[in-house]
Amino acid sequence: MAQASNARRPDDTVVDVADASRVAAVFRVLGDASRCRLVYALLRHDEISVGDLAATLAMSESNVSHHLSVLRAHGLVRFRREGKQIFYAPDDEHIRLLLDLTLTHVRHGDAAGADGGGVS
């Protein structure tokens, strides 16, 4: 009887380099606390103007606009222009799932006594 090999063979369960790079890019973008706060604020509204978002988070409009442009470049938010105002919204429900799961994971670590420290 042949022994089962512990070596994994490439198949659909392995993420290819291109997809892994794209996932890493999303996490790099969301690795900024201000951007996380922006996305969470966007998730609380169907859409919100830059000015209202800045007021909600006590940030300058230029800072909010900068972070929103980075989020938009990575497909995490979309915008709609109405006259001179621009309204932003999360791009889709995947953004909510991603952040909710990450927050659940972080809070689970807190409850388990993890120090919440840096990356090992």
Domain edges within the chain: 33-110
- Residues 57-89: tens digit of each pLDDT: 999 999 999 999 999 999 999 999 999 999 999
CATH class, range 33-110: mainly alpha
The sheet with strand 85-90 has its strands ordered as 48-49, 85-90, 77-82
pTM, 2 dp: 0.77
Portion of the chain with pLDDT greater than 70, in percent: 82
- Residues 9-25: tens digit of each pLDDT: 556 678 999 999 999 99
